Structure 1
Amino acid sequence: MAAADRLSALPNDVFQRILSFAPTHEAAATALLSRRWRSVWRRTSFLNLDTRPYAEAEREQYYGTPTLEAFFDDAHDILAALRRPTHGSRRRRHGAGLKRLTLFLEEEAYISKSSWRREGDDAEPGDRVSQLLAEPAVARLEELTIGCVQGHRREYRYFPPLASLPCAATLRVLELTYCNLEPTSPGLAFPCLTDLTLRDCFFLEGYLQDMVDAAPALTSLTLRNVSQRAANPPDSDERIKEPPYFMLPLRLRCPTVTALVLVTYADKKEIKASAAGGSGIELDMPSLRFFRFKGYPVKLSLASPAPGLARVELDVTRRHQDGSCEIMNYEPPSRTIASFSSTRALKMRLGCIEDIVADEDEDAGVILPTFPNLKLLELDGEYKYMNSNTAVAMARLLRSCPVMSELRLRLAMRYNHWYGLKHKNHVGGTFGESMDRFERLASKSSAVDLGGVSELPDALTNNDCEFCCLQTSLRKVTLRFEANEVNCFPVQLAKFLVENAVVLEEMHVDDGIQFWPDHLCYKVAGWRAESSRLKNLPDAAAGLRVCQLQLDKPGEGSNQDPDGPGRGGQDIGWS
């Protein structure tokens, strides 16, 4: 039995929206399927032009370097067709026109290649892409996205003619990926630009500031692995030696930006210089409300206060991207987040949570700052096996957030050689482990009822420590971890929070795959009741709601693209 044709039942506006996500040559091909659809694709406001299908077809047919002449011929024909009003098209008569254009370019689209070329030869830039962007149908474009393949050399990346774009006056969104913004383009002007995204782009020092200054309405900025270099001296020969590219230091002034996403993986020398007190990343953004940073731990600072700062997300790791080794000289997280203490929500992903107290014993050590406005704290990271600094780091966090109302934790134990040897050859294997659990359950001992949790770490129970949030504000805790042992640190922490958070109302727990009596959710009420009894307080267990979360692996969801907020992507992480 043939499947029903559900696309034909869709309204034209919905079908146009679906076609906007497809490559334009495929969208135009729908005209062959139905008489009703012959003009639908021409009324779309979104265009997606991709050179890859054309390049692949030419390589299969000619076994040589693609010329992409067919792509540019089709692209010009499509843009010309979009200019012609269709029968009964009110939108076209009223000038709605093309609003969003996405271009993906292979190297052959913008570089004229000869049969052979030496390493030192200059690339010959082609003007075919510029002619495409000069089409009248593109003149009132609002969103422009240009992506290129990752070239082997920076010189062979596409140089977009930003200063001469016909749509510069109407452009609201600009996204550039793997582009070379050298040389600089004088006379930049983007009066309507609100969203700017640069990924893996190269430019001369100071040009990024020029782009920002040319966009007085800019509110959202995303920078991902952008590199800059100093300009060559006037009499220098670029073929002999050019100044190296660098990511740090980075100084940027954006008075109107409210959302900033910054991804940067600097090299070892830049990280070491930042940790030694050198220049890292200095931002002057008084209107900032959202900030997301991902990369190695480097110096971050705000040159001017940002009183409206609502959310900060830091994803820092000391492990190299290739996983080879860890960075030893780095900026401690306590310094990294010092300038963002006014935020109302903080999300941190650390390679090791003990890094929070790193450098405290040094003469120039910085204690974690106080977050007077923080309501939500999220922490994702590994902890070391039987390390005293683990509890110290958690105590620092609790003490630094006096008005926190919600705490979300995702913890995973870092690999430990001795722990691995201890549990490598468990006597009896799975059967022996099952019998051990059965015997503990049958004994009905207090160790089973209360989980066998030993005395809590001194850093959390020291009488000199005052955790204001536990007394007045903390009402919800979410805890995700893998319970490797009955007495592991996350279990100890959960017991401490249940016993000491006076106004706690909800605890959501995912403690991995366990036998049902060992799940933490079955022990929380007992801990709460026992604590109330010992303190001669009314039983608070009845007012505490405990939920077992869906099984989840620690660290899951940590590899999502950090571009955002809003257009570029969703929030990384978990809830």
Structure 2
Amino acid sequence: MDRVSSLPNELLCHILSFLTTKEAALTSLLSKRWRNLLAFVPYLYIDDSVFLHPEEGKRDRPEIIQSFMDFVDRILALQGNSPIRKFSLKCLTEVDSNRVDGWISNVLARGVLDLDLLIILDSEGDDHYLLPPKCFQSSTLVSLKIDGGIEIGWVAGSIFLPMLKTLTINSARIDNFEILLHALPALEELSLFDVIWNAQGVNISSASLKTLTIYDIYCCSTLSFDTPSLIYFKYTGFVAKDYPVVNMKNLFDARIILLLQLQRAREPDEYHWFDQDVALRYSNVWKLFLGLQNVTNLYLSPGTLEVLSRCCESMPVFKNLKSLAIKSNKERGWQAMPVLLRNCPHLETLVIKGLLHHVTDKCGDACDCISREDKGRSLTSCPVKLLEIRGFRGTMKEMTMIKHFLVYFPCLKEMNIYVEENDPTELRVPEVSKCIMQMMEEYNKLSSCNVELL
């Protein structure tokens, strides 16, 4: 017997858990020692593509699909009632939905802890797999991931998931989301990606939730958050029409990436059927940020900065904010930057990814784009000590901005400048690189701040 085969069953099963279930099943051909081990493997990874792609052209597709379903039936029958920790099911073909229901019911009855489902049974995309109610009735399930355009519907009293801590929903249609959340008393992490809401307004309410990630391209009309224990919040999506409730009083880290159609954001009156809706949405964004006012670390995308320029007068004071990171580009403006910096009275670290931005006559005094009497006023009241500039390209415009920061940030002690690594920059030209280095040396001499090009 070889050394591996002489290992204890528990260790061999652990090794098999790193393979797809089909690969693990093939190990039974090695020797008698491996023949029945699959019956005790607590991790099953079922993927119909493992069956389809290697064998395409050799057999008819219906025959391959039937072979796949029979394989899953045999595996589950082989395992009997043995405990199972994780069941991952990926079906992208016309598998019998009743068979899928049976597989899910089997592992739930055996006390599965982690259930990962990616199911697309209709190749035309017209019909969606309706998740069976049993998926929401388990005393052991800790993690549930649903993906693939699955239809999700439930009624009050039909959900029993007292141990569920992590829920991920991707590309699914959802009804009555509040009913689900109210039935998850232990939920700590919620991720929602491209969810199609079958309701105008959505209320995400959970007293236990600590981490919330949303990628929402199918924007609902109103969006509320009653999540007093939330620590981490990442929101990517179009601006909702309203944010009636935003309760995130213990929030520590937030990343806000608002999506927008640039021309409509800047000139909504040009789109007569859309102008009032745009104005209403952007004017209500302050409600979202009011709920974020206790955050310690905050990241804002270029689109978010552009949207905030429409509601500067309502910008809250971020009294706990220590670290602010913004990303900028030539298509988005900095009109909101002066107010933002003035409303961060305890800011210590400022990170700017990309100094170049869209210049307008309302650009503000945070930059050096336009000559003005109140030049640098918002910077002089900002207590930031560390400034990180990322994506530096070695242009004179950037150097002018850097000097502007050195002059007007009164508490600045350290400035770290990171060169752009993904695209060619001006610094590849020896003469430019030499000039930039000389200017950096001069900046260090003129300022008490330590400037480093990294």
What range describes the TM-score normalised by the shorter chain of this pair?
0.7 to 0.9
Matched, 1:492 2:400: yes
Matched, 1:526 2:442: yes
Q: Is contact 2:444-2:451 (8 Å) kept?
A: no
Task: Indicate the SS of the match to 1:108.
Answer: coil
Matched, 1:397 2:340: yes
Measure the CA separation in 1 of the matches of 2:412 and 2:154. 59
What is aligned with 1:517?
A: 434
Count of aligned pairs: 422
What is aligned with 1:408?
A: 351
Cα distance change on mapping 1:179 and 1:460 into 2, 3 Å: farther
Aligned pair partner of 1:285 in 219, 227, 230: 227
Q: Where do 1:178-197 residues align within 5 Å?
A: 178-182=149-153, 184=155, 187-197=158-168
Cα distance change on mapping 1:307 and 1:228 into 2, 3 Å: closer
What is aligned with 2:106?
A: 135
Q: Is contact 1:398-1:467 (8 Å) kept?
A: no
Q: CA deviation at 1:12?
A: 7.8
What is aligned with 1:101?
A: 87
Q: Where do 1:381-392 residues align within 5 Å?
A: 381-383=328-330, 390=334, 392=335
Q: Is contact 2:194-2:217 (8 Å) kept?
A: yes
Matched, 1:254 2:162: no
TM, length-normalised to structure 2: 0.79
Q: CA deviation at 1:30?
A: 3.0
Measure the CA separation in 1 of the matches of 2:433 and 2:307. 34
Q: Is contact 1:384-1:413 (8 Å) kept?
A: no
**What is the identity percentage for the equivalent residue pairs of Structure 1 and Structure 2?**
20
Task: Indicate the SS of the match to 1:156.
Answer: coil
Aligned pair partner of 1:218 in 174, 180, 187: 187
What is aligned with 2:382?
A: 469
Q: CA deviation at 1:297?
A: 2.7
Q: CA deviation at 1:547?
A: 4.0
- The C-alpha deviation readout for 1:318-374, integer Å capped at 9, x for no partner, is 149xxxx766535266554232111111111123744432355xxxxx443211000
Q: CA deviation at 1:64?
A: 4.6
Cα distance change on mapping 1:307 and 1:352 into 2, 3 Å: closer
Q: CA deviation at 1:52?
A: 2.3
RMSD over aligned Cα atoms: 3.7
What is aligned with 2:42?
A: 45
What is aligned with 1:506?
A: 414
Cα distance change on mapping 1:326 and 1:24 into 2, 3 Å: farther
Q: CA deviation at 1:508?
A: 2.0
Cα distance change on mapping 1:482 and 1:6 into 2, 3 Å: farther
What is aligned with 2:238?
A: 296
Letter in 1 for 2:49: R
Cα distance change on mapping 1:464 and 1:377 into 2, 3 Å: closer
Matched, 1:174 2:144: yes
Q: Is contact 2:5-2:34 (8 Å) kept?
A: no
What is aligned with 2:25?
A: 28
Task: Indicate the SS of the match to 1:49.
Answer: strand
Cα distance change on mapping 1:345 and 1:100 into 2, 3 Å: same
- The C-alpha deviation readout for 1:63-93, integer Å capped at 9, x for no partner, is 4545723223222322233348xxxxxxxxx
Q: Where do 1:34-183 residues align within 5 Å?
A: 38=35, 41-56=38-53, 60-65=57-62, 68-83=65-80, 97-110=83-96, 126-135=97-106, 139-149=110-120, 151=122, 156-162=127-133, 164-165=134-135, 168-177=138-147, 178-182=149-153
Measure the CA separation in 1 of the matches of 2:368 and 2:71. 73
Q: CA deviation at 1:196?
A: 1.2
Matched, 1:265 2:265: no
Cα distance change on mapping 1:337 and 1:525 into 2, 3 Å: farther
Q: CA deviation at 1:383?
A: 3.5
TM, length-normalised to structure 1: 0.64
- The C-alpha deviation readout for 1:213-236, integer Å capped at 9, x for no partner, is 22111111111122233xxxxxxx
Q: CA deviation at 1:149?
A: 2.9
Cα distance change on mapping 1:128 and 1:469 into 2, 3 Å: same
Task: Indicate the SS of the match to 1:481.
Answer: strand
Q: CA deviation at 1:35?
A: 6.5
Q: Is contact 2:386-2:414 (8 Å) kept?
A: yes
Measure the CA separation in 1 of the matches of 2:373 and 2:143. 49
Question: What 5-or-longer segments of structure 1 have no aligned partner?
Answer: 85-94, 111-125, 230-245, 271-278, 361-365, 417-453, 532-539, 549-575
Q: Is contact 1:498-1:528 (8 Å) kept?
A: no
Q: CA deviation at 1:59?
A: 5.3
Q: Is contact 1:354-1:383 (8 Å) kept?
A: no
Cα distance change on mapping 1:257 and 1:137 into 2, 3 Å: closer
Measure the CA separation in 2 of the matches of 1:213 and 1:127. 29
Q: CA deviation at 1:170?
A: 0.7
What is aligned with 2:452?
A: 546
Cα distance change on mapping 1:341 and 1:413 into 2, 3 Å: same
Task: Indicate the SS of the match to 2:79.
Answer: helix
Cα distance change on mapping 1:529 and 1:203 into 2, 3 Å: same
Q: CA deviation at 1:284?
A: 1.4
Measure the CA separation in 2 of the matches of 1:517 and 1:143. 57
Task: Indicate the SS of the match to 1:492.
Answer: helix
What is aligned with 1:370?
A: 317
Task: Indicate the SS of the match to 1:196.
Answer: strand
What is aligned with 2:271?
A: none
Q: CA deviation at 1:411?
A: 1.7
Measure the CA separation in 2 of the matches of 1:131 and 1:483. 58
Letter in 1 for 2:57: E
- The C-alpha deviation readout for 1:513-551, integer Å capped at 9, x for no partner, is 3132244x65345224325xxxxxxxx25xx25241xxx
Task: Indicate the SS of the match to 1:27.
Answer: helix
Q: Is contact 1:352-1:382 (8 Å) kept?
A: no
